[in-house]
C-alpha cells in the first residue's frame, strides 16, 4: 500500500500574494504535500465569515513539486471549505493559517480571518495552527519566527491535538525571541474605534481603527504578557464556546412562560 506524504492545507486572510503566507510555505516545505487556497486579496478581520449571498470561484496560480497554490474569491473560511470539498484528494493532516501580518492574540481571536481558517480546520476535525507576527507591515521581517513555525508545526504533526482544540501562535516583533510560553487568552478591549471623515457629497464616513487596551497587563499567564516580554505566545483554543460555569445559575432562573 502506498504511504501518502502528509497533506497540508494553508490559507490566510491577507491574500495569497502576501509575504507572510509565502514565508510560511517556504518554511513548511519538505514536511509534506502543500496545497494553498487563499483569498485573492486582503480579508483582514474576516473572522469566521462565510459567503452566503454570492457564489465563490477559485483559480490555480502556480504549481511545483509538492506545492500547488490557488486563489479564491471568498473568505478565509470559504477557502478551507472549498479546498476540502473540491481540491484535496483526502482529508488533510494539518490546516495552517498565516503567517498573519498583525497580532491575533487576546480578544483579536474573535475578529481574525487567520484564526477563522484555523477554527474551520478544527471544526473539520483536522489539527490546525494559526501563526501571526505582531507587525502589520507588508514587508515585515518573518525570519526570527520561522524556526518556531517549523518546530511547532512538526510537533503538532507528530503528536496531534485533542479533538476540538487548535493553536493560536503569536510572535512579537523583535530580533531576539526569548522562547515559547503556553498562555491563556488575555482580557483586553478596543476603544476609540473609528476615524471620522467627511464625504464630499455630505455626511460622514468611518474607518475602523482603535486603541487596544490590555485589561490585565500584570497577568504572566496571558498571551499579551508573553508578547510584551519577547516570548512566542502559544494559546490553545477550543471550539466549544459554552460557558459551563453559567449553566446551573441559569437553570435557577425559571424562564418558562
**CB nearer its own copies, residue 45 or residue 141:** 45
Stretch that binds its own copies, among 2-10, 18-26, 73-81, 88-96 (CB under 8 A): 73-81
Among 17, 19, 49, 66, binds its own copies (CB under 8 A): 49
The nearest distance, CB 20 to its own copies, in angstroms, is 16
Q: At what angle do helices 19-28 and 146-159 cross, to 10 degrees?
A: 60
Residues 84-143 that bind its own copies (CB under 8 A): 85-86, 107, 109-111, 113, 116, 119, 123-125
Q: Is 152 in the site for its own copies (CB under 8 A)?
A: yes
Distances (CA, A) of 73 to 70, 82, 204, 235: 10, 11, 30, 30
Q: Is 50 in the site for its own copies (CB under 8 A)?
A: yes
Among 141, 187, 216, 228, binds its own copies (CB under 8 A): 187
Among 28, 46, 69, 95, binds its own copies (CB under 8 A): 46
Among all chains, which residue has been given the C-alpha cell 506524504? 5
Q: Is 70 in the site for its own copies (CB under 8 A)?
A: no
Residues 2-31 that bind its own copies (CB under 8 A): none
Angle at 126 between CA 242 and CA 164, to 5 degrees: 15
The nearest distance, CB 44 to its own copies, in angstroms, is 4
Contact 43, 164 (CB under 8 A): no
The nearest distance, CB 3 to its own copies, in angstroms, is 25
In 163-203, which ranges are continuous DSSP H helix?
none
Report residue 18: phi and psi, to 5°: -65, 150
Among all chains, which residue has been given the C-alpha cell 509575504? 19
Among 6, 160, 197, 217, binds its own copies (CB under 8 A): 197
Stretch that binds its own copies, among 24-32, 61-69, 93-101, 181-189 (CB under 8 A): 181-189
Q: Is 219 in the site for its own copies (CB under 8 A)?
A: no
Query: 57-96 burial, b if ≥16 CB within 10 A, otherwise e?
Result: ebeeeeeeeebbbbbbbbbbbbbbbbbbeebeeeebbbbb
Residue 217: how many CA atoms within 13 Å on its side-chain side? 5
Contact 12, 100 (CB under 8 A): yes
Stretch that binds its own copies, among 21-29, 30-38, 88-96, 146-154 (CB under 8 A): 146-154
Contact 247, 240 (CB under 8 A): no
Q: Is 35 in the site for its own copies (CB under 8 A)?
A: no
Grid cell in block for residue 181:
510560553
Q: Is 157 in the site for its own copies (CB under 8 A)?
A: no
- Residue 28 CB coordination number (10 Å): 22
Q: Is 245 in the site for its own copies (CB under 8 A)?
A: yes
Q: Is 198 in the site for its own copies (CB under 8 A)?
A: no
Q: Is 47 in the site for its own copies (CB under 8 A)?
A: yes
Amino acid at each position: 500500500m502506498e504511504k501518502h506524504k502528509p497533506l497540508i492545507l494553508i490559507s490566510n486572510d491577507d491574500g495569497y500574494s502576501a509575504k507572510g503566507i509565502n514565508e510560511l510555505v517556504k518554511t513548511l516545505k519538505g514536511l509534506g504535500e502543500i496545497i494553498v487556497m487563499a483569498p485573492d486579496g486582503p480579508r483582514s478581520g474576516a473572522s469566521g465569515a462565510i459567503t452566503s449571498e454570492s457564489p465563490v470561484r477559485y483559480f490555480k496560480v502556480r504549481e511545483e513539486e509538492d506545492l500547488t497554490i490557488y486563489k479564491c474569491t471568498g473568505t478565509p473560511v470559504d477557502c478551507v471549505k472549498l479546498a476540502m470539498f473540491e481540491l484535496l484528494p483526502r482529508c488533510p493532516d494539518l490546516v495552517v493559517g498565516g503567517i498573519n501580518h498583525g497580532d491575533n492574540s487576546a480578544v483579536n481571536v474573535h475578529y481574525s480571518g487567520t484564526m477563522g481558517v484555523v477554527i474551520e480546520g478544527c471544526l473539520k476535525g483536522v489539527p490546525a495552527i494559526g501563526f501571526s507576527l505582531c507587525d502589520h507591515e507588508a514587508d515585515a521581517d518573518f525570519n526570527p519566527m520561522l524556526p518556531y513555525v517549523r518546530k511547532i508545526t512538526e510537533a503538532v504533526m507528530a503528536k496531534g491535538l485533542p479533538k476540538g482544540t487548535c493553536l493560536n501562535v503569536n510572535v512579537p516583533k523583535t530580533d531576539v525571541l526569548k522562547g515559547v510560553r503556553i498562555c491563556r487568552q488575555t482580557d483586553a478591549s478596543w476603544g476609540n474605534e473609528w476615524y471620522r471623515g467627511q464625504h464630499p457629497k455630505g455626511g460622514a464616513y468611518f474607518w475602523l481603527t482603535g486603541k487596544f487596551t490590555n485589561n490585565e497587563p500584570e497577568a504572566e499567564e496571558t498571551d499579551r504578557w508573553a508578547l510584551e516580554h519577547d516570548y512566542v505566545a502559544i494559546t490553545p483554543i477550543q471550539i466549544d464556546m459554552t460557558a459551563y460555569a453559567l449553566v446551573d445559575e441559569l437553570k435557577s432562573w425559571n424562564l418558562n412562560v
